[in-house]
Amino acid sequence: MKITFYGHACIGLKVEDVHVLIDPFISGNGKAAHINIDEIPADYILITHAHQDHILDVERIAKRTKAILVSNYEIITHYEKLGLEGHPMNHGGTWNFDFGKLKYVNAIHTSSFPDGSYGGQPGGFVIEGEHKTIYVAGDTALTMDMKLIPAQYDLDLAILPIGDNFTMGVDDAIIASKFIECDKLLGYHYDTFGYIEIDHEEAKRKFFEKDKDLMLLEIGNSIEL
């Protein structure tokens, strides 16, 4: 499984020959100006919630790639009215896609479309593929619901927000990593704008002191899991 960081909370997964894109917000992110949005592959686009910094480029990419959107019922209904194809889910639901098995899990924060309309309840994803299991948390606060994840899954990687203010910060993300029983973390949702700027070295040090590995990728860079 190849994991690429496209900035903010946008992640690309390559599972076998299937490309999965999560929360595409690239064209509005000045730090990702070197990323050519029209070259990003996508067979599926997963959407954690309806805020603009997670959906800005959904239509543009989906119209070009014919990607299938996966999110909550309200978000999928919104995009189906725009002529895009989607697969609706809700919390606790699981579905077998051709890239692997996906479970839609709880996240704690707000969710609405840029025009203020209802975006349903936010979520995160547990994705199983290529004999690996990852947790993509979305913009969540620290929540006890995270303790349900290791009751079902042995995670190989967790992708957690660490920018604070709108999401968990570093200290809460460390607690979250204990709740989900995962020591290999990829940080996201940080540095995009002033409210969520972090000290990279301090963040990595705090995780290291708890015997955990926090990775902070440069935008456009990838890891193999």
CA distances 16 to 128, 161, 216, Å, are 12, 26, 24
pLDDT lower than 70: segments of the chain = none
Rounded to two decimals, the pTM is 0.97
**Token pair belonging to 91:** 């919390």
- Assign domain 2-217 to its CATH architecture: 4-Layer Sandwich (3.60)
Q: Map out the domains of the chain as residue ranges.
A: 2-217
Angle between the N-to-C axes of helices 200-209 and 170-179, in degrees from 0 to 180, rounded to the nearest 10: 30
Confidence at residue 11, expressed as pLDDT on a 0 to 100 scale: 98
Model confidence pLDDT, tens digit, residues 114-151: 999 999 999 999 999 999 999 999 999 999 999 999 99
Helix, strand, or coil (residue 12): strand
Strand 222-224 relative to strand 213-215, pairing: unpaired
Q: Which of 199, 191, 128 is nearest to 157 (CA)?
A: 128
Confidence at residue 42, expressed as pLDDT on a 0 to 100 scale: 98
Q: Which of 209, 206, 165 is nearest to 189 (CA)?
A: 165
